[in-house]
Amino acid sequence: MEKQAILSLVTEKANNWLNSPIDDETRDAIRKMMDENEEELIESFYRDLEFGTGGLRGIMGVGTNRMNIYTVGMATQGLCNYLRKQFGDREQISMAIAHDCRNNSPLFAKITAQICVANGIRAYLFEALRPTPELSFAIRRLGCQSGVVVTASHNPKEYNGYKVYWEDGGQIIHPHDTNIIHEVQRIRSIGEVQFEGDRDTVITLGEEMDARYIEEVARLSLNPELIRDHSDLKIVYTPIHGTGVKLVPRALERLGFKNIFHVPEQDITDGNFPTVVSPNPEEPAALELALKKADEVGADLVMGTDPDADRVGIAVRNDRGEMVLLNGNQTASLLTYYLLSQWKERGKLTGKEFVAKTIVTTGLMAEMADSYHVPCYDVLTGFKYIADLIKRKEGEMTFIGGGEESYGFMIGDFVRDKDAVAACAMIAELAAWARSREKNIYDVLLDIYQEFSFYLESITNVVRKGKSGAEEIQQMMDRFRKDPPASMNGSEVTVIHDYLEQETLERASGKRTKIDLPKSNVLQFLLKDGSKVSVRPSGTEPKIKFYFSVREKLESREKYGAVKQELEARIEGMKNALKLI
C-alpha cells in the first residue's frame, strides 16, 4: 500500500477516535500527531493490535496499534461478549484478573474488572501485583471461565500486554483466540465499550489465594529431608523489580531454605526498571547486580525472575568457583533430569507419565526422557500448547514437567502456564540434592552431558521494527520456504519441517508426511550431522528468531572445553551459511 493510501486510512481511523468518547489528553495527543508527526500517526493507527501468543502486546501510547485504556477496553468488551456466547447457560460467569509491575498495569487491570462487572461477569481482582502463574492457579481454584493478566513479560519498559486465559488455566488457543479477536473486530467504536462497571462489586484477591498457591508449590518437593539437611545453602534472588518479590522468597522459606539474599535495589517495584536496560533474565546484564551480590556473600546459586515471574534465569559456580550463567535449555534439562531421576527413585514411574517441550527447545530433554521410558511430546512454541496437551491427556497420563528454551518451566499441573515461583523452589531443591552428593548444579550438568549427549544451543535475533520491519520479516520467511539451504557447515540438510504447511519433507526421497500440530509460521532444517536450525518470527516482539542446536558425545569432563569449542564453531558455520554474521 502506498504511503498516501496508508495516511488516508490512518487519518480516518484517528478521526473516528476523535469522534469517540475519549479523554482530553488522548484527544490532544491525536491532534498533535495529525499536525506534527505523520510517521508516528501511521505507526499508532496503521493497524489494530492483534491477539498473538494469547492476547495483546504492544507499545503503550495513543492509537489502535498501542496499548491504552481504549484498546484494552475494546479487547475486554470483545472477550466479555465471547464469554457470554460460550457460557450463556451458566448462572454466573466469572473472571480472575492480575497485573504486573509495569506502568499502567494496575490501571489496565482495574478497567478490565470494571468492564467485566458492567457486562454481568463476576470479576476477581488481585489487590496488588502478582505472578502470572498465580493467576492461572486462581482461575482453576475459583472455577472461573476466563482470566486476564496485564503484563508484557520481559519486554522493554515502553511495552505492556494483556494475556487471556481460559477455564482450564491455560492461555487461549484456537478457536478461542481467533473467535475473541473477531468479537473485538465487531466493536466498531469506543462508545460500544461498557466502561462504567460498579467498582464495589469487584471481589479482591489477596493473602488467602497466596497461601493456597504456596502450599501447592511446597507439595511439589521431592526431597524435603535434604532441604532440612542443607537449609544453609546460600541463594541470591532478584525479582528484577517485578512480581516475584513477595512469593519467590516466601516459597523458598516455606520449603526450609534459610539463607536467601536479596538485591535491595531490584526489590523495588518499578515499571521503569531503573537498574537494567531490559528486565529479561535471558540477558546477562539483567543479573549483574545479583551476581555481584553472590560474590559478596559467597552464594551457591543465583536466581532472577522476569517482571511477571513466569520465567527464571540462574547462575551457578563452575569448577573454578566462578559464577556462570546457564541458559534456558540447560535449566530445563537440569530440572527434567532431576524430576525424572527422583520419580524413578521413588517408584512413581508407572508408564503413564509424560514430559513436554516446545519444538525449538533442546533435544536433550527428549533423549533423557527416552532413557527413562517416559514420552516427551513436542508442541508449538508457547506454554498454552503444553497446557492444552495436559488437558487432552487428563485422566489418562500424568504430567511431570515441561519447559522451553526461553527460560520457562512448569512442574505438575495445578498451574497451566510456565511458573518461575515453582521453578525457583525446585532449582533450589536440586542444589540441595547435588550438595548431598558432594556436588553442585554445574557438576550435575556435566554429568548429564556425559551420560547422554552434550547439546549446545544458540539464538540469533534479527530485529526489524514497525510496519516495514514486519513486511521484511515475512519476506525472509518466504525466501527460506522457496529457496531453503541445501547444506550448512558442510553438512547436508536432510529434512525440512514446515509447520505452516504442516508438512515434513525428506529431501533425499522426496517423501512428504503430515505434521500433526496446529499451523505455525515456523521452519526447521535438520542436518545430517544431527544439527538443527529453527526459524520463526516472534509472536510478541518485532524480530525473527534463529535457533541453532548442535550435539556431540562428551567422553570425559576433561574434554568439555574442547568439545564446546568444536560445537561453537559448528554453530558459527551455520550462522555464516545463513548470512547472519
Q: So which residues are the catalytic ones? A: 153
| One-character DSSP codes across 308-324 | TSSBEEEEEE-TTS-EE
- Amino acid letter, 41: L
Spatial separation of the C-alpha atoms in residues 28 and 486, rounded to whole Å: 55
Q: Is residue 543 a contact partner of residue 537, using CB atoms and an 8 Å limit?
A: yes
Angle at 494 (CA atoms; ends 370, 482), nearest 5 degrees: 125
CA dihedral 65, 66, 69, 70 (to 10 degrees): -10
What is the rounded distance in angstroms from the CA atom of residue 428 to the CA atom of residue 423? 9
Residue with cell 569448577: 319
Q: Which residues have a Cβ under 8 Å from the Cβ of 524 and sit 6 or more positions away?
A: 359, 495, 496, 497, 499, 532, 533, 534, 535
User: What's the count of helices (H) and strands (E) in the chain, helices before strands?
Assistant: 19, 23
Q: Which three cell numbers stand for residue 366?
A: 527428549
State the Cα–Cα distance between residues 370 and 357, nearest whole angstrom: 13
How far does CA 185 lie from the centroid of its chain? 26
- 99-108 burial by CB neighbour count: b if 16+ within 10 A, else e? bbbbebbbeb
How many Å separate Cα 465 from the centre of its chain? 21
Question: Listing from the earlier edge strand, what are the strands of the sheet with 259-262?
Answer: 259-262, 234-238, 301-305, 312-317, 323-326
> ∠359-384-92 over CA atoms, to 5°?
170
Residues 264, 433: Cα–Cα separation, whole Å = 28
Q: Do strands 532-537 and 543-552 pair parallel, antiparallel, or not at all (unpaired)?
A: antiparallel
Q: What is the phi/psi pair of residue 538, to 5°?
A: -65, 145
How would you classify residue 233: left for phi > 0, otherwise alpha for psi between -120 and 50, otherwise beta? beta
What share of residues in the chain are helix, strand, coil (percent, to 5)?
45, 20, 35
Q: Is 3 exposed, middle or buried (0-12, 13-18, 19+ CB in 10 A)?
A: exposed
Q: At what angle are helices 420-436 and 132-142 packed, to 10 degrees?
A: 110
CA-CA distance, 209 to 252, in Å (whole number)? 17
d(CA 540, CA 52): 7
In angstroms, the CA 236 to CA 221 distance is 20
